[in-house]
Amino acid sequence: MGNLESKSSKESLTSIIYLYLPSMHHTLVSSPLQGFTDFHFRNAFQRFFTGINVFYAPYIRFNGRMVIKPVYEHDLQVKNNPRSNVIPQVMTCSADEFIFAANYVHSLGYQELNWNLGCPYPMVTNKGMGSGLIANPDKIDRILDKVHSETDIIVSMKMRMGYEHSREILDVFPVLAKYPIKNIGIHARIGAQLYRGGVDLEGFQRCIEHTDQKLYFNGDITTVARFEEMCDRFPSIDHWMLGRGLIADPFLPEMIKDNTHEYPEDRIEVFSKYLDTLFTAAEKKLTGEKAVIRKMLSYWEYFSSTFPNPTKVVKKIKKTKTYEEYDAAVKDILAVETLSY
Ligand SMILES: Cc1cc2nc3c(=O)[nH]c(=O)nc-3n(C[C@H](O)[C@H](O)[C@H](O)COP(=O)(O)O)c2cc1C
């Protein structure tokens, strides 16, 4: 009898391990969203949810002066990130700015700096930064050369596949191969697309075939089903970056790691507490009811996608002008809109 019991418990242990194994070796990274994934978000997220291994901070950018703006300082200070595993990011096309940022983050205790070659907006790309730099491998080479000879910062990349076309990145890989780049996170679109159209999975496959460096996949992972689809399509990838999908659905990483499509039973209760925490953070940071509600609306524009009627949800929040109205709208959304789940 005892033997039987221990055999069946062994079997159930094996099946539990098997159940968890497929996703256990996957690392989930919070992809940075300027205006969303600051330390307030990171702390609120980690108070209620799990599943994210690493958070990339939104980029540091210089405006012609070698000064780190207070907003970036607050975001990166270790005391403001008590539980997070954070990696700072810089967006620049100047080796001197890169080195300045590297020395700054190093002074705060960070070992790694992520380089943004992904931003698609003309204001950035016209200056040869973000995805506008991908078509210039020589310049990337010069910058990386100087950074690696003058600092010992660990460099990782976050890129699109190009600005005009998805093969631009193929000429960058031989340059990156000259340096100890920790990893290359690839948002599988081109800059000119902005966020339109789908991700280019064939283009990403080409990237896998053209480099031996470590690649992370990024783009449109918004559900567990989509994550599973990407895992099947790219079996060699074990690092996944979640951007808008993470904002929209904070339960997503935990569900991916737990191999489940089911939300926890206390979904609404947890989500409601999370909302309160984001709200309190917005109140501390901003002045006036309007500004706080506008901030929450920007989150709701993402949250709404997980509700049966997204347009109606956004409309309800948009109409509110006071905290009282906002609270009533949220209560209504959580009670009425979720009934159909
Ligand atoms: C509002 C917004 C802000 C973003 N800010 C950054 C940023 O600071 N740094 C960066 O590398 N990418 C930034 N991105 C790109 C995302 O990190 C991510 O690469 C992109 O949204 C694709 O991934 P997703 O489909 O999972 O969202 C931003 C995207 C959005 C929509």
User: Are 177 and 242 contained in the same domain?
Assistant: yes
Average pLDDT, the chain: 93
Would residue 32 count as lying in a domain? Answer: yes
Question: 262 is written with which tokens?
Answer: 């089911």
193 ligand 1 Cβ < 6 A:
no
C-alpha 39/C-alpha 71 separation (Å) is 10
Same domain, 78 and 219: yes
* CA atoms of 100 and 66, how far apart (whole Å): 7
Ligand 1 contact, 30 CB (< 6 A): no
Number of domains in the chain: 2
Looking at ligand 1, which residue's alpha carbon is closest to its atom 1? Answer: 33
Q: What is the average per-residue pLDDT within 180-209? A: 98
Q: What are phi and psi of 55, to 5 degrees?
A: -115, 120
Ligand 1 atom closest to the CA of 118, numbered from 1: 11
Residue 116 CB–ligand 1 contact under 6 Å = yes
Among residues 229, 257, 285, the one where a domain terminates is 257
Of all protein residues, the one whose alpha carbon is nearest to atom 3 of ligand 1 is: 33
Residue 305 sits in the same domain as residue 165:
no
Is 11 part of any domain?
no
Please tell me the predicted confidence (pLDDT) of residue 334: 94
Q: Is there a single domain that holds both residue 290 and residue 237? A: no
Q: What is the pLDDT of residues 304-327, one digit of tens each?
A: 999 999 999 999 999 999 999 999
10 pLDDT band (50/70/90 cuts)? Answer: very low
Does the pLDDT at position 3 exceed 50?
A: no
Give the confidence band of 24 by pLDDT, cuts at 50, 70, 90.
low
Atom of ligand 1 at shortest range from CA of 218: 23
pLDDT band at 132 (very low <50, low <70, confident <90, very high): very high
Residue 8 forms part of a structural domain: no
Examine the pLDDT at 134 and tell me if it is beyond 60.
yes
The finding on whether 244 has its CB within 6 A of some atom of ligand 1 is yes
Q: Answer with the one of 257, 288, 317 that is the final residue of a domain.
A: 257
Inside any domain, residue 114:
yes
Is the residue at 282 inside a domain? yes
Q: What is the DSSP string of 188-217?
A: SS-GGGTT-S---HHHHHHHHHH--S-EEE
**Cβ of residue 245 lying under 6 Å from some atom of ligand 1:** yes
Q: What is the pTM of this model?
A: 0.92
Please indicate, yes or no, if residue 18 is contained in any of the structural domains: no
Domain that residue 298 falls in: 267-340
Q: Does residue 276 sit within a domain?
A: yes
Cα–Cα distance measured from residue 242 to residue 208, given in angstroms and rounded to the nearest whole number: 19
Is 218 a pocket residue for ligand 1 (Cβ < 6 Å)? yes
Same domain, yes or no: 189 and 318: no
CATH number (domain holding residue 111): 3.20.20.70
